[in-house]
Amino acid sequence: MALRIDSDLLAKEEAWQLGYGRFKYCGLREDPFGKPPDLQAPAALARLPLPDVDARELQGVRELQRRVSDIASVALRSDFCTLLRFFQEGQGDVGRAEACFREAVEWQKKHDVPRALTHWNLALFERCLAPWWPTGGFLGLGFEGEPVALERIGCADWTALHDNVPYDVLQKMDIVHCLRTLAGVEEDSLRRNVPFVNATLIEDLQGISWRTFSPRTLQALGAILKSRNHTVPRSARRVLIINAPAAFAAVWNTLKHILVNPHTASLMQIASAEESLKVLRQHMDDSIIPEYLGGTRSISGDPECRSLLAPGGTPPEAVFAHIRRLNQSS
């Protein structure tokens, strides 16, 4: 009898064994091929130099510190840089900033966020879907010394994820993703002794279609994306939408209120496939741009740098079955 090879299982094992997405949070290090970063101790963050702020911001953050001192110990983060981002989220109004912070802390408590990296089943909430979701990873540092991250959102199959993975599991996966991303930036700040600064985020739309991002699933995606504001608010300085199809700008004007908050939408610059490399080169060196986008970076001959940048795609059914087993045993 001929041996039957399960191609679905083979695809799953290949993606895991080749380590696609394994080092997605390590790309800010000189040697990115190590364990994923962990959150830093508050005492370590207190040693970081403060970012440049004006007198109004300094006074506002100090007042915010005073107002939220009763919950600072249960918040995921309550250091100066975190409270500065909440002050900015409140548009310079201390009262609004306090409300944003208290809402975030309540959300963190409800979802057990502070214990995610130490008490959750990371085989389920981090490693299982690593090659497929969340896509991308850190590329390195931009011309302004800021972290640069790439999401290969056009290659993701959100519809398949939405239809095969329980929403609460997807939410927890995104919480772990946010914490690892935060940990990577904190680790980099401590290593270089620089303030926590906002990142350049690249959203690569190459390959996007209504099949993989069905309109009926976008409300759920938007809820997850907007919830990131409770963990890492105001953490981007610009969002570069590259390889955008010709009709994307018109479609985006209809959908942006579903997927992102107004501030994030205001940071976005949309570039066609023809313009994308030029736009990237305005903010970063070719040495951190993957070859598949026109830069010079490859990993072991791979122009997509898939060990650093999770490539996305549709997870095989065997992966979804594995998720169901892990979820039942959790």
Mean pLDDT of the chain: 94
> Domain 42-112: which CATH class?
mainly alpha
Q: What is the pLDDT of residue 12?
A: 61
Q: What is the pLDDT of residue 47?
A: 87
Among 39-53, 64-78, 84-98, 232-246, which is the least confidently predicted range? 39-53
pLDDT(304) > 80? yes
pLDDT tens for residues 111-148? 999 999 999 999 999 999 999 999 999 999 999 999 99
pLDDT(11) > 80? no
Q: Which of 3.40.190.10, 3.40.525.10, 3.40.50.1000, 3.40.50.12780 would CATH assign to domain 7-40+116-329?
A: 3.40.525.10
pLDDT tens for residues 22-69? 999 999 999 999 999 999 998 898 888 889 999 999 999 999 999 999
Q: What is the pLDDT of residue 19?
A: 93
Closest by alpha carbon to 73, among 114, 116, 117? 114
Q: What is the pLDDT of residue 5?
A: 35
Q: What is the pLDDT of residue 7?
A: 42
Sorted by where each begins, the domain ranges of the chain are 7-40+116-329, 42-112
Q: What is the pLDDT of residue 1?
A: 28
Provide the whole-model pTM: 0.94
